[in-house]
């Protein structure tokens, strides 16, 4: 039987142990385990890689701990705009959505764009109309509201600055302060290989706090934040989106494998620790190759991550 594997992430960045309570760390790890197991259960039953990454990513979108779906951050105008993408490696089919509001699971909309339209990417109101047409679940603004995210935004509302998730550290409702040393890039994603030898990847995000001018990061961009090709690998990225776009990060890993013959881990290390760092690209990525090998590489202080495979791997982690 072919090996099957799934890896997930819930964001990377300066995740400091001293700022993490035992209770919160347990909550994060529990959420990772739930997402990991939801995708793995499908693979175990012979399900497809695309189903597994969709299910695992939706699980993370449904948790307010992560900056995607329900836990998305606030933009400059007080809205919550979300981006997502998904890709399968057999036929190189992909779907993506950016700047959508009120969609419960943006990655599900990306999947529907891939499977029910002739397009790859849809944006804004048009994507919302397509979602309604195909019965994608929507939610009112209240569903996406959390006091923590709202306080993050209120701290920055009068400035022209943007912040990565958890760049604004909130001790309690009466004490809010900003710290540049507590950066978390709040993207979520998954990559998987199924028993049929097919691979897939998915990524979803709420973007940057106080983002302006309709800013879109790497998460919905095929080849930058997400990529899958059965010849090589499936990749989902998390980090400061602009350098990841400029480096065409996810596709670059695939290229290094296909044209230079590098292993998944070798290729990911070159991209994350060399190419990205040369252009101040902080963050990381997860990946699975066509043989079921997996890697989780990051150049930040931590990355919420997990792996489970038919070979017996089963772990979650936060710090280096």
Domain-by-domain residue ranges, the chain?
5-319
Q: What is the CATH number of domain 5-319?
A: 3.60.20.30
Burial of residue 135 (CB within 10 Å: 0-12, 13-18, 19+) is exposed
**pLDDT of 149:** 65
| Whole-prediction pTM | 0.91
- Rounded average pLDDT over 229-247: 96
Indicate whether 162 pLDDT > 70: no
- Strands annotated E in 101-232: 121-123, 168-172, 175-178, 184-185, 187-193, 199-205, 226-228
Q: Return the bridge partners of 295, or none.
A: 287
Rounded Cα gap, residues 183 and 167, in angstroms: 5
Which of the residues 5, 187, 238, 249 is marked catalytic? Answer: 187
For this structure, is 2 an active site residue? Answer: no
End-to-end CA distance of the chain: 33
Indicate whether 300 pLDDT > 80: yes
Rounded Cα gap, residues 80 and 14, in angstroms: 23
- Rounded average pLDDT over 253-273: 98
**pLDDT of 184:** 65
Confidence of residue 214 (pLDDT cuts 50, 70, 90): confident
Mean pLDDT of the chain: 89
Angle (CA) 248-232-113 rounded to 5° is 65
Confidence of residue 193 (pLDDT cuts 50, 70, 90): very high
């Amino acid at each position: 039987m072919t090996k099957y594997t799934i890896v997930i992430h819930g964001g990377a960045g300066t995740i400091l142990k001293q700022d993490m309570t035992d209770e919160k760390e347990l909550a994060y790890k529990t959420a990772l385990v739930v997402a990991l197991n939801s995708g793995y259960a499908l693979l175990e039953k012979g399900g497809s890689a695309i189903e597994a990454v969709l299910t695992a990513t939706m699980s993370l979108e449904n948790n307010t701990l992560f900056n995607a779906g329900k836990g998305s951050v606030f933009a400059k105008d007080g809205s919550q705009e979300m981006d997502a993408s998904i890709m399968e490696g057999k036929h190189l089919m992909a779907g993506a959505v950016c700047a959508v509001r009120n969609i419960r699971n943006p990655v599900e909309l990306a999947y529907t764009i891939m499977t029910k339209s002739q397009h790859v990417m849809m944006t804004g109101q048009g994507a919302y109309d397509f979602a309604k047409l195909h019965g994608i679940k929507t939610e009112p603004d209240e569903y996406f509201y959390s006091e923590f995210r709202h306080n993050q935004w209120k701290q920055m509302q009068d400035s022209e600055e943007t912040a990565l998730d958890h760049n604004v550290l909130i001790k309690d409702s009466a004490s809010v302060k900003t710290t540049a040393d507590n950066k978390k890039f709040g993207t979520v994603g998954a990559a998987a290989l199924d028993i049929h030898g097919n691979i897939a990847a998915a990524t979803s995000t709420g973007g940057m706090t106080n983002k302006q001018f309709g800013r879109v990061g790497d998460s919905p961009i095929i080849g930058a934040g997400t990529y899958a090709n059965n010849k090589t690998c499936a990749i989902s990225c998390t980090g400061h989106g602009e350098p990841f776009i400029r480096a065409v990060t996810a596709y670059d890993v695939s290229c290094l494998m296909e044209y230079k013959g590098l292993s998944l881990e070798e290729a990911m290390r070159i991209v994350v620790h060399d190419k990205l760092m040369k252009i101040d690209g902080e963050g990381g990525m997860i990946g699975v190759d066509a043989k079921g090998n997996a890697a989780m590489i990051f150049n930040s202080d931590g990355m919420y991550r997990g792996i489970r495979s038919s070979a017996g791997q089963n772990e979650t982690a936060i710090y280096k």
